[in-house]
């Protein structure tokens, strides 16, 4: 799925919801065995219950890579369950130079055929370029919401903060059709400033829901003419219920978020 196709899907569903599949065996519903086989069963049910309200799915690869070859298989099978009218994100946070970067890009964007991948830009342009060579979307870490973001991202660089300089420079390496930026939902007050730097790019905004981010604030400050937002909710949706109704509960929560989003798109 391209960014243009994503924009059309947002208009059709009146939604900019991204569901995060950060599936943890220990947090599966009580009736499911705490085994890796249950991860795929759980993911399939979540996707079926939420895809009419979501326009994107983000697979946090660490939750699957921990299981080695079996985890990669589950990740691939999960990806196959996602409808083709939904944007797919490999939340892998890669970022390396030379052949290493090329191999990461090939793994996720060619062999697994994700629509996009998250990358870290802090090794510079030659660590991002390999991911731009497949005609997919590179989602660059811009401003994160963890407490450690204060260690480096907010450091002054001339009249800018480091994260502002990074976003400004990285944006020149691509364009709004092949590049997005991650901005944490708990940094919503910074979205207005970031929009001044990248007015046309999509922003992937994790942290709404269980992490305390405000959908209203993110939407008010972040929406542009093409929506320009993918708001991710993971735990707040997929673990809404620990019972046998887990998928139904996930669907209800997704519908609630979609309805709130529709109001901002009218």
Q: What is the pLDDT of residues 2-46, one digit of tens each?
A: 999 999 999 999 999 999 999 999 999 999 999 999 999 999 999
Q: Which residue among the candidates 14, 93, 102, 242 is catalytic per the annotation?
A: 93
Top CATH class of 3-265 equals: alpha beta
93 belongs to the catalytic site: yes
Degrees, nearest 5: CA angle 202-206-207: 145
Model confidence pLDDT, tens digit, residues 152-169: 999 999 999 999 999 999
CB 206 within 8 A of CB 20: yes
Helix, strand, or coil here: 256?
A: helix
What is the tens place of the pLDDT at every residue in 221-263? 999 999 999 999 999 999 999 999 999 999 999 999 999 999 9
Spatial CB neighbours of 129, under 8 Å, sequence gap ≥ 6:
101, 173
Among 28-32, 93-97, 213-217, the least confident range: 213-217
- Residue 21 to residues 77, 158, 222, 235, Cα–Cα distance (Å): 13, 39, 23, 8
pTM score of the predicted model: 0.96
């Amino acid at each position: 799925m391209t960014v243009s196709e994503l924009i059309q899907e947002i208009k059709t569903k009146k939604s900019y919801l991204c569901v995060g599949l950060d599936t943890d065996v220990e947090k599966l519903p009580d009736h499911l065995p705490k085994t890796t086989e249950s991860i795929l069963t759980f993911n399939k049910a979540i996707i079926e219950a939420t895809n009419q309200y979501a326009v994107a799915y983000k697979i946090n690869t660490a939750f699957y890579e921990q299981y080695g070859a079996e985890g990669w298989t589950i990740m691939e099978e999960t990806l196959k369950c996602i409808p083709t009218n939904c944007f797919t994100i490999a939340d892998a946070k890669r970022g390396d130079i030379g052949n290493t970067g090329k191999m990461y890009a090939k793994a996720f964007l060619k062999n697994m055929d994700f629509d996009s991948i998250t990358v870290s830009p802090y090794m510079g342009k030659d660590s991002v370029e390999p991911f731009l060579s497949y005609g997919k979307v590179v989602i660059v870490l811009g401003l994160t919401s963890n407490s450690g973001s204060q260690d480096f991202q907010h450091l002054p660089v001339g009249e800018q903060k480091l994260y502002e300089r990074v976003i400004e420079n990285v944006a020149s390496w691509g364009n709004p059709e092949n590049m997005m930026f991650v901005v944490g939902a708990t940094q919503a007050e910074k979205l207005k400033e970031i929009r001044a730097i990248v007015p046309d790019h999509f922003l992937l905004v994790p942290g709404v829901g269980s992490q305390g981010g405000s959908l209203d604030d993110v939407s008010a400050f972040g929406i542009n003419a093409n929506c320009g937002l993918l708001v991710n909710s993971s735990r707040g949706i997929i673990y809404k219920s620990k019972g046998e109704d887990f998928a139904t509960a996930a669907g209800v929560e997704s519908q609630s978020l979609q309805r709130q989003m529709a109001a901002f798109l009218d």
